[in-house]
Amino acid sequence: MLACQQSYMPINLYYDVAVRATGGGGKQIALVKFADMREDVDSVVFECNSTREVVGRARIPGQDAGAWVTNALAAELSQGGFRVATYSDAPGAGEPVVVTGELYEMYYEWHKPVTQYCCWWIALIGSAWETTRSWVKVQVTVEKGGIPIISSQYMGRASKSGSANRQDVELSLDKALQDLMKKLVPDVVAAAGL
Amino acid sequence: MRNHIYHLATTGVGLLLIASCATVRPHQASFSGQSTFSRNAPPLGLPVVVLGSGPRLADVASISMPSDVGAGGGKELKDVAELNRAVLLAERGIAAAHANDLLGASRSLDEAIAVMGGHVATAKDAQARALFFSTESRKTFRGEPHERAVMFIYRGLVYLADGDADNAQACFKSAALKDALATGKEDRADWLTADLLLYLTQCLAVDPNRQDWARNIESRYGAEGSLPDGWSKAHRNPVVVVVVAGRGPIKQSQMLAKGELMYLEVPTHADRLEVAGVRGSVICAPTDRPFVQAATRGKREMDKVLAGKAAVRKGFRTAGDVVNVVGGVVSAIPYVGLIGTAMTYAANAAKLASEGIHSDADTRSVGLVPAQFYVYVGDASELGGHPKLRIIDREDCVLAEGTIDLPRKPDRLSVVLARFSY
């Protein structure tokens, strides 16, 4: 078990395709890179319990969290049979369906069970039930022919047993993004089919 | 034999290391997308609608827009949808307006306004609803003042397109009044967009023939030299052009400090609007930036409540830490050790309770609130049948261009709506 005080731990953002999207049929979708609106774009806020006290930041040096979300959506839609074009600032002329968005929250929390408040040996036993919780929050807009079809906030959450080490943080964020995609991809597919 | 075991062990460790290295994945957070805006790039198409004229461009009402954010995971989705109903209605209403669906827009915006504006939260009311162990987002979404103002501006435009100047006037007045609710006078923002449109409708309402409204504007605003470009040129066949650009402010809770609501500005490429008619073109600066309206309004009553909750949480934890230490010392003293143990348990109970106090601000927002409003009022005869709208950036590049297909009814007011998202 690593201590909460282990701050500025570097992590690697990755994503495993999780949604079995269908219905693409070669339709074209343009994705504009999600803008990362977070205050510190080089790290993920990392907390202990739910006391809202920053105990550290998992660093993501040289990585773009907005691109991470965009690439995940592109991978899901490509898997579903869509032809995906990605843009950095705005879609090219004549793109029929355009997805834009902003990433504005990315958190990782490490929850110790309530036994932490008991005597040391109960706390030690309780440490086996430590859990982690992470979430990713985005605002997504889908336009068709320039008309907004969907504009909604989406939040992906992941809760799992784990601690504060690198693998747990990476896996937890991966799961949170998968949860987000499970909500977002069906809506994008539905909007594209209209 | 010992060497053999040593080699086996080192080989095993080596294989394990290789295996662990093989599972390290390359990060997937780099981007290699194309760039659209450049100096020589052709402009994008700007979707332009003349409200109430021409076909409906999309059936926005048939799409369900889920929004389960902010109400917490414990709530049933149905309840969450009910809490967020105003968000969905507001977004559907704005989307329907841009899709030239007047009926759909008026229905959705009316419902959204009923939810958002039906109840004005006073300081006492806000405190009563801010339950100690609950988050702000577990209440019905009613929007912030800038969101409510935008709702009323859109509703007014739909009324205007329907030829109902009186109700349009009431809506623009309501949009302006949304700023009157700020506690401090210095925090009350001014919506130029609402003011200009309100003035326009006032002119329309006082003149039954609707011919002299432009002269009224000239005499009231133009005499003071404060009338924006284009307004003084409108005479007989008024055309109201409202162009919105970019994305509105994003709400964020200062979870790590006092919980209060803060706004993040989403940058837009748009810098100005050009309206080009047969008799030349007019450059319009933005009349409003909702981020500025939102961010300059000072603290909400709810922010004070959240700050109080954050302070209590911190106090509980600090007190818990202190009592914990004292209890530990006391428990080591003979005869009073039990008191020390009790103090330790009480301290930990206080710390446990502090974890349940949530001071997060509500970050639900209406996603289609724009970053900028442009308003232009001109004369149809001077604009010609197919005037052009151009969005221009700071480097004089035309980012998007659209054409207005004005209807051939010279005596009717035309309301033109366009949206540039980037």
For chain A, the domains span: 23-193
Question: Nearest-CA distance from B391 to chain A in Å?
Answer: 14
pTM: 0.81
By Cβ distance, the residue of A31, A137, A148 closest to B95 is A148
Please tell me which residue, B334 or B249, carries the higher pLDDT value. B249
CB contact under 8 A, B313 and A51: yes
Q: Do B367 and A94 touch (CB under 8 A)?
A: no
Tell me, what's the pLDDT at B22?
44
Listed range (A170-174, B71-75, B222-226) with the worst mean pLDDT: B71-75
Question: Under an 8 A CB cutoff, do B31 and A155 touch?
Answer: no
Q: What is the CA radius of gyration of chain B?
A: 29
Strands (E), chain A: 9-10, 28-32, 35-36, 43-48, 54-59, 83-87, 97-111, 131-144, 147-161
- With an 8 Å Cβ cutoff, is B388 touching chain A? no
Q: Å from A184 to nearest chain B CA?
A: 9
Q: What is the pLDDT of residue B213?
A: 52
B44 chain-A contacts, CB cut-off 8 A? 90-91, 93
Are B65 and A151 in contact (CB < 8 Å)? yes
- Contact at 8 Å (CB) between B136 and B70? no
Q: How confident is the model at residue A176 (pLDDT cuts 50, 70, 90)?
A: very high
CB atoms A145 and B47 under 8 Å: yes
Return the higher-pLDDT residue of A181 and A62. A181
CA A177 remoteness from chain centre: 3
Among candidate residues B379, B405, B373, the one with its CA nearest the CA of residue B284: B373
Banded model confidence at residue B71, pLDDT cuts 50, 70, 90: very low
And the tokens for B36? 């659209």
**Which pLDDT value is given to residue B157?**
96
- The C-alpha atoms of residue A182 and residue A188 are separated, in whole angstroms, by 11
pLDDT in tens, A50-81: 454 555 677 888 888 999 999 999 999 999 89
Summary mean pLDDT of chain B: 75
Judge whether B119 and B129 are in contact, CB under 8 Å. Answer: no
The whole-number average pLDDT for the span B381-394 is: 88
User: Is the per-residue pLDDT at B232 higher than 70?
Assistant: no
Query: Which segment of B75-79, B191-195, B197-201, B416-420 scores lowest on mean pLDDT?
Result: B75-79
Sequence-distant (6+) residues with CB within 8 A of B25 are A12, A14
Q: pLDDT per residue over B354-380, tens digit each?
A: 666 666 677 788 888 999 999 998 888
pLDDT of residue A103: 92
Q: What is the pLDDT of residues B21-50, one digit of tens each?
A: 444 455 577 777 778 877 777 888 899 999
Instruction: Using CB atoms, pick whichever of A63, A140, A148 lies closest to residue B27.
Output: A63
Whether B20 and chain A come into contact, CB under 8 Å, resolves to: no
- Write down the pLDDT at residue A49: 57
CA angle B220, B225, B229 (to 5 degrees): 95
Q: Determine contact: B66 vs chain A, CB below 8 A.
A: yes
How close is the nearest chain A Cα to the Cα of B328, in Å?
11
At B296 the three-state DSSP class reads: coil
Which has the higher per-residue pLDDT, A32 or B277? Answer: A32
- Top residue of B20, B21, B34, B391 to mutate, by most chain A CBs within 10 Å, is B34
Q: How far is A68 from chain B (nearest CA, A)?
A: 4
B320-339 residues touching A, CB cutoff 8 A = none
Give the amino acid at B357: I
Q: What is the pLDDT of residue B383?
A: 82
Helices (H) and strands (E) in chain B, counts: 13, 11
The single residue listed with the structure tokens 């693409």 is: A24
Judge: A146–B419 Cβ closer than 8 Å, yes or no: yes
CATH 2.40.110.10 fits A23-193, yes or no: no
Question: How far is B85 from chain A, CA to nearest CA, in Å?
Answer: 12
Tokens of B132: 């100690």
d(CA A30, CA B196): 37
Amino acid at B18: I
Closest Cβ opposite residue A194 in set B63, B267, B419: B63
Could you tell me how far CA A42 lies from the centroid of its own chain? Answer: 15
pLDDT band at B212 (very low <50, low <70, confident <90, very high): low
- On whether the CB atoms of residues A31 and A82 are closer than 8 A, the answer is no
B318/A contact by beta carbon, under 8 A:
no
Percent of chain B with pLDDT over 70: 66
The pLDDT score that the predictor gives to residue B280 is: 83
